Amino acid sequence: MKKLLLLSSLFLISFGNAFSGIIVVEGKYQDKNLYVQNGYAGNGVGFCTYEVTINGKVSTDEVNSSAFEIDFPAFSIRPGTPVVVEIRHKDDCSPKVLNPEALKPKATFEVININIDKNGILNWSTKNEMGSLPYVVEQFRWNKWIPVGEVKGGGSMENNTYSFKTTTHSGENKFRVKQIGYGDLSKASNNVTFISATGQPTYSMTKNADAIEFSAETMYEVFDEYGNVIKRGFGNKLDIANISKGNYYLCYDNIMTDFKKK
C-alpha cells in the first residue's frame, strides 16, 4: 500500500510539473488578433499549449494544432479594452507568440477640437485612443517643428480633453500635437495659429564676447558651421564663453541669423 501511495504521489508531482509553464501577454486590444506558434510537447505526445485565458476567461480557440489564433472579437472585446492573455503550456516545451506587438499602443487618436486661446493655452479634445501615449506639443519655429512640451494621454476611446500653456514668440505662432506609437509610427494633429502682439526682441554681444544678451526672454538655438546644435535653451542671456572662435548660426524668437565669435 505504501508503495502504491508513493507511486501515486510521484505521478501527481510529475503531472503537475508537466503543466507548469505560462506565458503572459498584456496590453490593449488594437483590433488585431494574436498568433501563436505552438508545436508538439517535448515528449512528442500532444501539443505544447493546453489552455488560453483572456482576462481570466478560458478561450474556446482550438489550441491542439501547430499554430493557432487568439480571437478577441469572440469575447466581444472592443478596441482599446485592456487585455491580459495567459498561455498555459507543458513544462518541457514553449509556444511562441508571433506578434506580441499587436497589443502595443499605436497613435490612433482623432481630434474632435483643437484651439489656442488669447492667453496662449493650447486646448484639444480627442477620441479613439487605443492606448495611453504621451502627446508631444510642437511649435513651428525656424522652418521646423520643435517639441516644446509633453502631456500624458488618457488612452480612452471616449472623449479625452487636454491643455498646455505655450510660450509664444512674436508674430504668427503655429502649434500641433503628436503621438508616437509602437515602431516609432507617429500621428500629428492639424496645426492651429496664434498671433502674438509681443514685440520682436533684439540681441547684442557683450564687449568681451562671452555672452549674447536678448532684449526679452526667448527660446534659442546655436548651430556650428556644420549644422550641429551646440547650445539650446530659454532666457535673456546666452553664454558663449566656452565655444571656439568661428562662425555660428543663431536662432531665437522667430529669427534665423548668424554671428562670429572672435
Domain boundaries, the chain: 18-103, 110-196, 203-261
Could you give the C-alpha distances from 119 to 60, 149, 166, 167, in angstroms and in order?
Answer: 56, 17, 9, 10
pLDDT band at 131 (very low <50, low <70, confident <90, very high): confident
Model confidence band, residue 109 (pLDDT cutoffs 50, 70, 90): very high
Is the pLDDT assigned to residue 150 strictly greater than 70? yes
Please give the average per-residue pLDDT across 110-136, as a whole number.
95
Least confident of 3-7, 24-28, 43-47: 3-7
- Condensed to tens digits (0 to 9), the pLDDT of residues 38-74 reads 988 878 788 999 999 999 999 988 899 999 999 999 9
Question: Does the predicted TM-score (pTM) go above 0.85?
Answer: no
Who contacts 162 (Cβ-Cβ below 8 Å, separation ≥6)?
Answer: 123, 124, 125, 126, 135, 151, 153, 154, 177
Q: Which 8-state DSSP code applies to residue 7? A: H
pLDDT exceeds cutoff 80 at 19: no
| Residues making up the chain, counted from first to last | 262
Average pLDDT over residues 27-32: 92
Amino acid identity for residue 207 in this structure? K
* Whether the predicted pLDDT of 151 surpasses 90: yes
pLDDT band at 13 (very low <50, low <70, confident <90, very high): very low
Task: Using the predicted structure, report yes or no on whether residue 8 has a pLDDT greater than 90.
Answer: no
Query: What pLDDT sits at residue 40?
Result: 87
Domains 110-196 and 203-261 belong to one CATH topology: yes
CATH 2.60.40.3080, applies to 203-261: yes
Lowest mean pLDDT of 9-13, 190-194, 247-251, name the range. Answer: 9-13
Task: In whole angstroms, give the CA distance from residue 46 to residue 64.
Answer: 8
Distance CA(212)–CA(201), nearest Å, equals 12
CA distance 119 to 11: 74
Is residue 252 left, alpha or beta, with left meaning phi > 0 and alpha meaning psi from -120 to 50?
A: beta
CA–CA dist 68, 75 (Å, integer): 16
The pLDDT tens digits of the residues spanning 235-262 come to 999 999 999 999 999 999 999 999 999 8
pLDDT for 60 equals 85
Tell me which fold the domain 110-196 belongs to: Immunoglobulin-like (2.60.40)
CA–CA distances in Å: residue 5 to residues 18, 115, 259: 20, 76, 91
Nearest to 204 by CA among 193, 215, 195: 215
Where residue 231 falls (left for φ over 0; alpha for ψ -120 to 50; beta otherwise) is beta
